[in-house]
Amino acid sequence: MFYIYIIYSKTLDKYYIGSCQDIERRLQDHLNGRSTFTKTAKDWELKYFETFLTRSEACRRELQIKKMKSRKYIENLIITKRLEYPDASGG
């Protein structure tokens, strides 16, 4: 299983979009400063994720979201998923 995910840092007031195969390990990488972009904050929270059967599908979706270059689009994804699954923190 492959994932795209969106994490958020309140300290930086920024979102980060990524893809991976092990979402728990990857979140720990971000929290422990093992990612260049995210190492400046230690309060990253998983806000959204989607699952895919192949890496290429996940990468395609990651690029699609990144190409939007829109905070509003990202926040709408998070809100929509929360409305669909009110007890879930992710997707």
Q: What is the pLDDT of residue 85?
A: 59
Distance CA 29, CA 23 (A): 10
Tell me how far CA of residue 39 lies from CA of 30, 42, 55, in angstroms: 7, 7, 25
The set of residues, in sequence order, having a beta carbon less than 8 Å from that of 90 and lying 6+ positions away, is: 5, 46, 47, 48, 49, 81
- Residue 51 sits at φ, ψ, to 5 deg, of -110, 150
pTM: 0.87
Q: What is the pLDDT of residue 7?
A: 97
What single-letter amino acid sits at 91? G
pLDDT in tens, 23-75: 999 999 999 988 888 999 999 999 999 999 999 999 999 999 999 999 999 99
